[in-house]
Amino acid sequence: MSNKGKGKLDAITFFYGFGAAVVLVGSMFKFVGWDYANELFIAGLSIETLVFLVSAFERTTDEKEYQWENVFPQLTSGNANTPDMQGYQDSMKQFSSTIGELGEQIKGLNQALGSIKNEMTQNAQASKEMHEKVIGFNQQLGEYNQHMQQINDKYKDFLAASK
């Protein structure tokens, strides 16, 4: 089985993880009240201490500079030292075209929103007018009820007088 793409196992990282696992198991033993919890704590923390002590003296290597030609291959031609200006210009034209299309779509969206705003303003005005008419109708109905009450009162008086 090939481990080529996965990197190599680092001893410091392995012991750090192992020590952390022992400390966690010791914590579990302590919480549950099982035997050997103190011993597991001591063993795990000792491993952690040794790992921290060794890693304090670990030397690091400088990482090589990032290779931008892998990220932006259009910037290079067949020669790795010469930028491909035509590829760059083509990419910028495509980007500019995309931005232009986006601008046109935003303009269309703005016009549609303007139309919606005008329609909503007209609907609000019509609703306000309808509300005012309903208020007037309610007032007229109130007056009609008063007049009907007056007519009923007069009719009752007439009936009482005729008896």
For the entire predicted model, the pTM comes to 0.35
Please report, for the chain, the start and end positions of each structural domain, with discontinuous segments joined by +: 9-58
Residue matched to tokens 């192992």: 18
Q: What is the pLDDT of residue 82?
A: 59
Q: What is the pLDDT of residues 49-82, one digit of tens each?
A: 888 888 888 777 777 777 777 777 666 665 555 5
